[in-house]
Structure formats: structure tokens, C-alpha cells
Amino acid sequence: MNFFSEDKLSHMLVARKPEQHGTSVCVGSAEGKKLFIGGGKPVVIAGPCALEAEEEALSLAKGLKELGVSIFRAMLFKPRSSPYSFQGLGEAGLSILDEIKKQTSLLLLSEVCSEREADLTAPHADILQIGTRNMSNFELLKHVGRLNRPIVLKRGMGASIIEWLNAAEYILAEGNPNVILCERGIKTFELYTRFTLDISAIPAVKELSHLPIIADPSHASGRRSLITPLSRAILASGADGLMVEVHQSPQNSLSDAKQALSLNDFIELKKSVQVFL
């Protein structure tokens, strides 16, 4: 009962028309070369759950760049279930973004949780992320729909695929066509993983929509040991990219310590997914 019919979907901006190709979203240029998500080689986005300190962030960004990463997770505003958990560096970290950009030329992806954070972050980041907790924050979606930045829209942990596509429609309807969907796991009764990665959402979105779709096996599983096999599954199913958490020293991470990869783990991951890139 609580879903839009596929019929209704077909009249939307996000809908894939018959024979339509998938959209390539230009997410910025690095060293004179434009980078796209969708319609070509899958991308790998990597970085810590949240930035914690400048020196470590720079060192990690350089390490990831050497390993072929072109988009860095550079999170400053970190929505956490408890108000007493580490909430990210916030506004104070904006200069770190500039420094990473200057020293590495990496494209930067950063999460925003309010209109104010979006306005603050947009000049310093290439891609804005709307996280799972804000997928249904429609006022924020409309706001980023009026910004000139590509948006990674994570799926709400309790949202159906159709509700998620409707959330994307809020952004497109305001004039911003550059939306990349990101599957990150849904709430189910299974407890071995933190969430249940809905792998079917990848080909489902591909048949319903022309928008690119990536997936985040780190938040979905919450377990370091599952990230490589899930990354392979994600790419094999047709996703346009991966987003993974990598930390200088995962055991010291201020958030999501159990799911972050070390640089060495990331090297193994890259080898294991090379065939799909």
C-alpha cells in the first residue's frame, strides 16, 4: 500500500525511458581531466568515516591517491545516533578540505545535514552527500536541488527503492540533474551484519532509472571482513562505483572502527575488484 506504482514512476524525471542510456554525471575535474560517475568505468570513493585531524587526513589522502583513488570521503558534519558521540570537525574543518585539494587534487565528497551546512560546504567540496538519516528531509533535498554541485543521495535505512527514487526526484525537480544514488543497506531482522545490503537494488535502480548508482559495503555490513566480497558483488551486479571507509589506523577511529579498512586492507580490496574496474 505504501508505495508508488511503477506506472506513476514512469512520468518522473528520474525514470529511465525505453532504450535510454544511463546518465553520466560529471563530478569534477582533476589534473585537467573530467571525472564521471555512470556510463563507464566504475569509480572507487574512499576515505575515513569522518575527518579527525589535518595531518592524518592529508597523509591518508596522499596514500589513497597513490593507490589510484580519485574521490576522497572528506566528511566534516557527521550525524550520529547519540548527541554525545563525536559529531565531526564541523565548520572548523573546511580549511582541511582546501589543503587536501591543494596538495592532492583529489575530488572531495562531503556530507551535509542542513541547508546551512550545504551552503558552507559547497565552495570547498566537489560532491555533496545527503546521508541515510536525511533522505526524507525534503526541505534539504530541495535546497541542494538548487545548488550547482553533484549530489550523492544515500538510501534511507527504512526506505523502499521507490521512496528513494522519489527523494531523488525532489532534487531533480528543483533543477539539479546530477544525482548519484548510493545503496548502503536497509534495516532487517538479520543481526550478523549492521544492515542488510540490498544488492537487488542495484539492477532494480538500473531498470527503473537512468541515474548512476554506487554502493557502500562498509556501512552496510559494519564488518571489515565482509567488505571485499561485497565490493565484488556490488561491481559484478552492475554498480557504477563503490564507497568504502579507509582509516590510517582503524583501531583508533573515532567512529565505525569495526568497519574501516587500513591502507593495506584497501590494497587487497583493489586487487580483488580489479577485474571489474
Distance CA 167, CA 181 (A): 10
Query: Least CB distance from residue 179 to its own copies, whole Å?
Result: 13
Distance CA 266, CA 227 (A): 10
- The residue within the footprint of its own copies, chosen from 134, 176, 209, 248 (CB under 8 A), is 134
- 32-71: contacts with its own copies (CB under 8 A): none
- 74-93: contacts with its own copies (CB under 8 A): 79-84
Bridging pattern class, strands 33-37 and 25-30: antiparallel
Q: Which is nearer to its own copies, 28 or 93 (CB)?
A: 93
Interface segment toward its own copies; rule CB under 8 A; list 21-29, 45-53, 109-117, 119-127: 109-117
Among the listed residues 181, 183, 175, 110, the one whose alpha carbon sits nearest the alpha carbon of residue 143: 175
- 186-245: contacts with its own copies (CB under 8 A): 186-204, 206-207, 220-222, 225-226, 229-230, 232-238
Query: Least CB distance from residue 101 to its own copies, whole Å?
Result: 25
Query: Least CB distance from residue 52 to its own copies, whole Å?
Result: 19
Residue 120 lies near its own copies (rule: CB under 8 A): no
Distance CA 35, CA 33 (A): 6
Distance CA 182, CA 217 (A): 10
Q: In a 3-state reduction of DSSP, which class is residue 150?
A: coil
Task: Report whether 99 contacts 111 (CB < 8 A).
Answer: no
Q: Which is nearer to its own copies, 206 or 247 (CB)?
A: 206
Residue 15 lies near its own copies (rule: CB under 8 A): no
